[in-house]
Amino acid sequence: MKKLAIFQTIVMMFLTSCDSRNVKSVEKEITQKPEYMQNENLEILKLEASRLRAGGSVKEVVLNKSSAHITYAKNYMEYKELNPQSTLTEADLAAYWESGNAIDKALVEGGVMIMKKLNFIDSVTITLPYKRELYEVNVTKSEIESFTGDDFPSIIAEWDQKFIDRYVYDKKNREKFLKKFGTVKKIEPLRCGGY
């Protein structure tokens, strides 16, 4: 007990002898991940984003601390810039997005799948522009826990039963999920001359 009191006194003396800039810089060093780890995590995130539904259409992946933002290509031209070797036609790509609620399923599954696979991600935004509409979903682990009534580890442990079957493939629950976490906005065409 006496040793603990002496240790606390020494720590307090050390901290009070430092000016606030030094304490803050030490706190910053302790709480921030080294840059190389952030870059490594970004590469891992990019790999997992490429494995999502229509992952070949993922145009941009951004990592900001524990938040991921994934953006899909807005049209076939952007898709071909990303995948010049692809034999997929414009009609094939359109047929994919227009079949079986593919956009909704990609949005519902994608963000939660990223958080399932990557424990350093706590929130995900997915943006999917398609035919003059901008579809977006924004989810966090805590919001998913609240929405599903299950903690995240149990969702992961029983992935198909607690999430995929319930929210991706069940149309009513998929719609509830998108109503809670998703948005759809009209994209206005650009006018010539900046108007």
Instruction: Please give the pLDDT value at position 192.
Output: 57
pTM: 0.79
Distance between CA 28 and CA 177 in Å, rounded? Answer: 37
Does the pLDDT of residue 15 top 90, yes or no?
no
| 18-42: pLDDT as tens digits | 444 444 444 444 445 566 677 899 9
CA R_g for the chain: 22
Q: What is residue 26's predicted lDDT score, i.e. its pLDDT?
A: 40
Report yes or no: 187 and 134 within 8 Å, Cβ to Cβ: yes
Residue pointed to by tokens 């079949």: 99
Percent pLDDT > 70 in the chain is 78
CA distances for 131 relative to 93, 100, 174, 184, angstroms: 12, 17, 21, 12
| Max Cα-Cα span within the chain | 78
Domain definitions of the chain by residue range:
33-183
How far is it, in rounded angstroms, from Cα 143 to Cα 125?
13
Counting every residue, how long is the chain? 195
d(CA 68, CA 66): 7
**With 70 as the cut, is the pLDDT of residue 186 above it?**
yes
Which contacts qualify for 60-66: CB closer than 8 Å, 24 or more apart?
63/38, 63/121, 66/120, 66/121, 66/122, 66/123
pLDDT band at 188 (very low <50, low <70, confident <90, very high): confident
Task: Read off the pLDDT of residues 40-95 as tens digits, 9 standing for 90 and up.
Answer: 999 999 999 999 999 999 999 999 999 999 999 999 999 999 999 999 999 999 99
